Structure 1
């Protein structure tokens, strides 16, 4: 059998962008399974959630913002440290760039390795990478909770628990009961779990569910408008996590190999999720992390471009 092309290296087709209003002056920028961004329009200024991978991609978000408001973009919130989310930050000229304290520490610990790794995995998302000035550092950090006022509009930034990474935050707009979840929640897209915490993630999803939200802008996939769609995405995300972790953990705990874990996860996940965006891309990284976590490796090992290839080739051969 011919090995599959590495990660998303062969995915070069442009994606159609959608810009969906998910509450009063709240917008979700989505692109058929590519990383989403969010927009919150306040009384006198704008907050953007997620920068995109490059300034060139960020300009597409800015173009959509300018189609609905001419207020200045003053705040940029980054829900976690991954390169495809943060390296376009310079395009916005925001006065404040906000991350959790933990996410900032992960930029310091593994930001450059993550950039190099993701650049090889997602070449299409890094078109125009020459204009990235360097790693993205926040101007402002917090631990558990922070409130930002855009005029009178209140925006709560909250750490609800480890999930996609150790430093994920959500962005909640109480006047509209709408949340921007980053990659904690996905819709018809695989969860990337290579830097995740399988044991903690389901409880974090349930804390989101307790908000009884009217809409969610997920990390990838269509905007989730209405409680039925919100709950469906929470259920599907939880099922994906369970289906990815349990078969791998059983293999790891009986002393089986990573390749055996890969086969077991495919048997469970392929029938349910093979049509999800970036499914084939994520699966090897998810299996590797599930295997490690089952063996009580609590902190995800740092992915490097070299480690990516070695693991991919071993599983796909």
Structure 2
């Protein structure tokens, strides 16, 4: 896959979704995540960086302006390049916190993903010029509660889903949840199924995670990519993953081959969701779920 659109973060589009809580939207641009800036009386937390140093510099400048002297923190929802491969820019300016499994993903898989993304085309390679893999300042086990001053933020690892090291970011007083790529809107779920290099995505685990998140009753859900919404962001992705699992497993039970299953399921899902982007993620999703069916 070659990416032709420049994945530029547009901080000018930031909007407040709750008091002292802003989202820099991805505007439906490939490889641009939704980025959060969450404030308390004493500190400000940035959620995700954008792809590469230039994007991250803009995010840092924006967050510094919002903070007006308050301390800065950074966290990332998972290790993928558009979410975390700008973190080096925050060194010395913010405290970077991640969960233990995400730190392991960064160390073990980061170099391979950096090389893979540089191969997506010249525009992406330029964005990744000078990128060094981030080194977290704080690596935590279990849940981490960050006190921003009058506002607590919960950094909560979810277990294996989109990646091994996914974490969500909850702002309880505002009822806001940042999901990373556990949820998107307007596109097929992203399955980073790249055997033999990375097979940690789990459709079965992902469904379990979404069941738990959907039951929590968050008022506002900020997906990794796509429009901010309510609880339906989670339930819609869950419904799609169930659909993908059921259509795949039904055919696997009949002893069809993976190639035939993939062709049939892709055709069916595109027919059912013709307006969705990211059709290239159906095939790896089928392959992942075939493996999980057979396990």
Show the counterpart of 2:288. 289
Q: Which has the higher contact order (CA 8 A, sep 6+)?
A: 1
SS of 1:141 mapped into structure 2: strand
Q: 1:214 to 1:56 in 2, by over 3 A?
A: same
Distance 1:242 1:123 in 2: 37
1:154-193 to 2 correspondences below 5 Å: 154-193=152-191
Match of 1:28 in 2: 23
**Structure 2 CA distance, aligned partners of 1:249 and 1:106?**
29
Residues 256 and 72 from structure 1, CA distance in 2 versus in 1: closer, same or farther, beyond 3 angstroms?
farther
Q: CA deviation at 1:213?
A: 1.4
The reply to whether residue 202 of structure 1 matches residue 201 of structure 2 is no
Matched residues in 2 for 1:265 and 1:15: separation?
Answer: 33
* Number of residue pairs the alignment of both structures matches: 282
The answer to whether the 8 A contact 1:171-1:181 is kept is yes
Structure 2 Cα separation of the partners of residues 30 and 123 of structure 1: 24
Q: CA RMSD in A?
A: 2.4
CA contact (8 A) 2:9 2:50 kept: no
Pick aligned residue for 2:84 from 83, 86, 98: 86
The worse-fitting range, judged by mean Cα deviation, of 62-71 and 138-147 is 62-71
The CA deviation string for residues 109-141 of structure 1, in whole angstroms up to 9 with x for no partner, is 222112222333475455331121x21222212
8 Å Cα contact 2:3/2:120 also seen in 1: no
How far did residue 15 of structure 1 move? 6.6
Is the 1:45–1:150 contact (alpha carbons within 8 Å) kept by the matching residues of 2? yes
| 1:249 matched residue in structure 2 | 249
Partners of 2:71 and 2:273 in 1: how far apart?
Answer: 37
Q: 1:22 to 1:274 in 2, by over 3 A?
A: same
Cα distance change, pair 251–191 in 1 and its aligned pair in 2 (3 A): same
Whether the aligned pair in 2 keeps the contact of 1:19 and 1:64 (CA below 8 Å) is no
In the alignment, which residue of structure 2 is the partner of 1:116?
Answer: 115
Deviations 1:147-168 (A, max 9, x none): 1111332111112332211221
The unaligned stretches of length 5 or more in structure 1 are 1-5, 225-229, 297-317
Q: Hey, what does 1:106 align to over in structure 2?
A: 105
**Cα displacement (A) at 1:67:** 5.7
2: CA distance, partners of 1:82 / 1:76: 15
Query: CA–CA distance in 1 between the matches of 2:283 and 2:118?
Result: 17
Q: Is the 8 A contact 2:214 2:235 kept in 1?
A: no
Which stretch of structure 1 is more off in the superposition, 261-270 or 16-25? 16-25
Aligned to 1:149: 147
In the superposition, the TM-score normalised over structure 1's length comes to 0.80
1:36 CA displacement: 1.6
- Which position in structure 1 is the counterpart of 2:5? 12
- Structure 2 residues not aligned, in runs of 5+: 193-199
Q: What residue number does 2:196 align with? A: none
Q: CA deviation at 1:215?
A: 1.0
User: Is 1:46 aligned to residue 41 of structure 2?
Assistant: no
Once residues 264 and 116 of structure 2 are traced to their aligned partners in structure 1, the CA distance between those partners, rounded to angstroms, is: 26
Q: TM-score when scaled to structure 2?
A: 0.85
Q: How does 1:48-87 map to 2 (within 5 A)?
A: 48-65=46-63, 68-72=66-70, 74-87=72-85
For 1:164 and 1:173, locate their aligned partners in 2 and report how far apart those are by CA, in whole Å: 21
Deviations 1:74-95 (A, max 9, x none): 2111111112211111122344
